[in-house]
Amino acid sequence: MLLMYRNISVLFVLLLVSVFSQPIFATSITENEAIDLIVAKLSNGHYGTARDNFKALAEQGNSRAQILLGIMYSEGRGIKRNVPEARVWYQRAAVQGDTQAQFLLGLSYINRYAKFRDHEMAYIWISRAAESNNLMAQKFMLQTFEQGWLNMPADKQKVKYWRERLASSQ
């Protein structure tokens, strides 16, 4: 179980890096510029300003801001760690079809800081992201069926399926 959480932490850090390094696909140039400025503030330790600005954009439906606000709550970056609040923001982006948000939402259901864990919900959201070609989620699903994570039995057929999906996605 400890190995699963350690691997999840590594995956989460990699996903966090990918969120900050990927191009921003917002609905307008103004939102793109705003996200870039907010990320710079966050990187410089201006957490309160970053949170307030992310929240303003997130409330307007910007999935990128919703994810970043969710990460702030999930990790307790400059604010009190609040996994249920992180889930709210991840879910808003996830229902828009954002696969990173779907993956993070799934992970939030097995987050060691969460008071309410739900392996079934984790599986639902992570598998949805994986089926939509999110590489991190596909790798997680492969490990799930190799290692028996999420209360799933090891399954050679599903391991084969996810290996093939990963090979075709890369």
Q: Which of 112, 39, 35 is nearest to 81 (CA)?
A: 112
| pLDDT at 11 exceeding the cut of 80 | no
Mean pLDDT of 36-55: 94
Mean pLDDT of 121-133: 97
What percent of the chain has a predicted confidence (pLDDT) above 90? 75
| pLDDT at 52 exceeding the cut of 50 | yes
pTM above 0.85, yes or no: no
Ordered domains of the chain (ranges, CATH):
2-125 (1.25.40.10)
- What's the 3-state SS for 103-162? HHHHHHCCCCCCCCCCHHHHHHHHHHHHHCCCHHHHHHHHHHHHHCHHHCCCCHHHHHHH
| pLDDT at 22 exceeding the cut of 70 | no
- Where residue 112 falls among pLDDT bands split at 50, 70, 90? confident
pLDDT for the residue numbered 30: 78
Mean pLDDT of 80-100: 97
* Residue 167 zone, left/alpha/beta (φ > 0; ψ -120 to 50; rest): alpha
Q: Which of 80, 61, 82, 77 is nearest to 16 (CA)?
A: 77
pLDDT for the residue numbered 114: 84
pLDDT for the residue numbered 3: 52
Burial of 35 (0-12, 13-18, 19+ CB in 10 A): buried
pLDDT for the residue numbered 32: 81
pLDDT for the residue numbered 113: 85
Task: Measure the CA–CA gap between 76 and 166, rounded to whole angstroms.
Answer: 32
pLDDT for the residue numbered 1: 53
- Round the average pLDDT of the chain to a whole number and report it: 87
Angle (CA) 130 134 137, round 5°: 55
- Where residue 27 falls among pLDDT bands split at 50, 70, 90? very low
pLDDT for the residue numbered 105: 98
